[in-house]
Amino acid sequence: MISKELIKRKISTQAKELGFLDIRFAKAEFMEPEAKRLEQWLSEKRNGQMSYLENHFDKRLDPTLLVPGAKTVISLSFNYFNPESQKDESAPKIAKYAYGKDYHKFIKKKLHRLLNYINEEVGEVSGRAFVDSAPVLERDWAKRAGLGWIGKHTLLLTKGVGSYFFLAELIIDLELEYDTPVSEHCGSCRKCIDACPTEAIDEQGLVMDGSKCISYLTIELKDAMPKEFDGKMDNWMFGCDVCQQVCPWNRFATPHTEERLNPHPDLLGMEKKDWQNLEESIFEKLFSGSAVRRTKYLGLKRNIAFLKEK
C-alpha cells in the first residue's frame, strides 16, 4: 500500500512535468465562510450581468455535489506571464493572458493526463477536471490549499511568483495529505486599489465590484458600454492588467514556457490605426483559438469605438 505522502509527492512531480507551476492539496468539504461572502457579494449585485454566477450556488460551495464521494481538491497554477508588450503604446490594449491560444482546452487536457496518471499509480480514482468553466470557487480552493493568499485586488498571489497564472483543479475521491493556508503578504500596500481606473476595488481591498471591472466591461457586458466609464478605460479593449502591473509581487514573475500562449506574430506589432480599422478577416487571423473570440468581432469593435470616444 503506497502511503498518502508518497502518492502526493508523485502527483506533484508529475504535475510539474506536465508544465504546471505549482500544486497544493485541500480537504474536500463544504465552504461555509465562503458561502456567506458569496451570498453577500451576489446580493449587492456586484456580479453585474454575470447571472451565471447565481446558478448552482450549492455546487460552488460543496465539491461532493460535483464529484460524489470527493475527498481532495487539488489546486494547480499555470504560468502565463509574457514580458513582451504591444509595441505601439497608444494602441488599444489586450490583457496578457489573452495573447495566445485559449488556455481552457489545453490545460484541461493536462489535467486529464494527470488524472490518468493517478489512476495508473493508485488504482481506480474517480474525479473531474476544472479550468474556470464550472461552478468551482477556484481562487478560494487555491487559498485553502496554500497555493497563495488572496491579494487586495482579489486575485491569488504567490510569494516569489506574483499573480500572472491560471488556476485549475482536480476534484477526486482519494484521500491524501493536505496542505495548509499561507499567511497574506500585502501588508499596508494599496497600489492596486489606488491604480484601478474604474475604482472597482473596495477601499479596504479584498472585494471587487465586478460590474465596474474593465475585464467585465470589455468581455462579459453585452450591452452598450455605460457612459459613466467614458474616459476611464485606460485604453483597454480586452481585459485589464492594471492591478497586476502595479503589484510589487509581480516583479518576481518569470516568462512562461508554453508555446501555445505565445501571440500571433502580427499581434504585438498592430498599431492604433490598425485596431481602429480592424476588419473581421484580420480579427479571425489574429485570434484563431484565442480567448478574445469570447467577445466576438463586433464586441471588440464596440470596445475600440468606445475608446475612440475619449
Active-site residues: which are they?
Answer: 132
Cβ(173)–Cβ(67) below 8 Å: yes
CA-nearest of 256, 216, 210, 260 to 238 is 216
Beta partners for 60?
none
Asked whether the CA dihedral 172, 173, 175, 179 is positive or negative, the reply is positive
Task: Give the 3-state DSSP-derived string for 3-65, with helices as H, strands as E and coil as C.
Answer: CHHHHHHHHHHHHHHCCCCEEEEEECCCCHHHHHHHHHHHHCCCCCCCHHHHCCHHHHHCHHH
In Å, what is the CA distance from 225 to each residue of 34, 59, 239? 31, 32, 14
Side chain identity at residue 51, one-letter code:
S
Q: Give the alpha-carbon dihedral of 38, 155, 130, 75, to 10 degrees.
A: -110
In Å, what is the CA distance from 11 to each residue of 83, 184, 216, 272? 30, 26, 35, 46
d(CA 25, CA 173): 13
Task: Give the 3-state DSSP-derived string for 94-162, with helices as H, strands as E and coil as C.
Answer: ECHHHCCECHHHHHHHHHHHHHHHHHHHHCCCCEEEECCCCCCCHHHHHHHHCCCEECCCCCEEECCCE
The three-class DSSP label of residue 295 is helix
The three-class DSSP label of residue 165 is strand
